[in-house]
Amino acid sequence: MFEARLTSAATLKKVLEAVKELLNEASFDCSDSGIQLQAMDNSHVSLVSLTLRSDGFDKYRCDRSLTMGMNLASMSKILKCANNDDTVTIKAQDDADTVTFVFESKKQEKISDYEMKLMNLDQEHLGIPETDFSCVIRMPSVEFARIVRDLAQFGETVLICCTKEGVKFSVSGDVGSANVKLAQTNNFDKEEESVSIEMQEPVSLSFACQYLISFTKATPLSPRVQLSMSSNVPLVVEYEIAELGYIRYYLAPKIED
């Protein structure tokens, strides 16, 4: 028996919004410790890694580890039927071929359940090596989303250059070029608005704007985002999900011909 309950369906809706642009379907691995999802997009350029810890749920029970392959478009249709403040419970029997979502309104006057067929997804698990990153940038997630959206209008590739002074995002295309420089702030009063950089050595890497835009769909999950970069390894874009876990996106760089 598997059962996981969250008092606010809004969180699950935001999690799904954060993954469904990159993935059509995904396996949710459920165990004692929580729910994990790891999948690459179809083109194998980006990878989504989601962890929802069992202690972050209002109720969590997982008698036997199980993998639930879900079509994310179908899951999205179901979650649209929940109000943001509904309690959501995800249920499955051991070895089941369906999963059930139960939505309960705050006053319990409305209870709905939606059963969805599970899929057999033959997804391989990837070992992600631990990396000591040359640069780790922390900034407001809204600011990152804004920069990516603004710059993507002018080109397909963004060059991210990080030094100890700050981080520069640059794009060039048919129209011309655009640069956004963010200096490191020492804004201790408003930590949420600060830009901080931990740098071992400067890094310059190019990435496809289209993927970064997809990653920023996670913005509603967290006020902060962390970008980790080292030369010639994938970028890691991480959003913490308060008291529940995190979503990390890995993006392979673009390399000059």
C-alpha closest to that of 19 among 57, 53, 49: 49
Distances in Å between the alpha carbon of 55 and those of 27, 104, 247? Answer: 21, 21, 16
Binding part of the chain for other proteins, among 13-21, 71-79, 90-98, 119-127 by CB under 8 A, reads: 119-127
Query: Which residue in 34, 220, 234, 245 binds other proteins (CB under 8 A)?
Result: 234
Q: Is 132 in the site for other proteins (CB under 8 A)?
A: no
In angstroms, what is the minimal distance from the CB of 178 to other proteins?
17
Q: Does 176 bind other proteins (CB under 8 A)?
A: no
Span between the terminal Cα atoms of the chain, in Å? 53
122 lines the binding site for other proteins (CB under 8 A): no
220 or 253: CB nearest other proteins: 253
Residue number, 174 or 256, with CB nearest to other proteins: 256
Residue window 33-52: x/- pattern of binding to other proteins, with contact defined by CB under 8 A = -------x--xxxxx-----
CB 226 → other proteins: shortest distance, Å?
19
DSSP codes joined into one string, 97-109: SEEEEEEE-TTSS
3-state secondary structure of 196: strand
C-alpha distances in angstroms, 23 versus 45, 186, 190, 193, 256? 12, 38, 35, 31, 27
| Single residue of 202, 206, 213, 223 touching other proteins by CB under 8 A | 206
Of the candidate spans 23-31, 51-59, 72-80, 121-129, the one that interacts with other proteins by CB under 8 A turns out to be 121-129
What's the gap between Cα 244 and its chain centre? 13
Q: Is 256 in the site for other proteins (CB under 8 A)?
A: yes
> Whole-number minimum distance, CB 156 to other proteins, in Å?
9
The backbone torsions φ and ψ at residue 45, rounded to the nearest 5 degrees and listed phi first, read -100, -30
155 is a contact residue toward other proteins (CB under 8 A) = no
Place of tokens 């940038």: 137
Which pair of structure tokens corresponds to residue 213? 């835009």
Structure tokens at 114: 């939606």
130 near other proteins, judged by CB under 8 A:
no
Site for other proteins in 55-94 (CB under 8 A): none
Distances (CA, A) of 56 to 52, 53, 69, 221, 243: 7, 5, 22, 14, 6
Residue 133 in the binding site for other proteins (CB under 8 A): no
Q: Is 108 in the site for other proteins (CB under 8 A)?
A: no
* Closest C-alpha among 115, 166, 159, 120 to residue 256: 159
Binding site for other proteins (CB under 8 A): 40, 43-47, 124-129, 157, 206, 208, 233-234, 250, 252-257
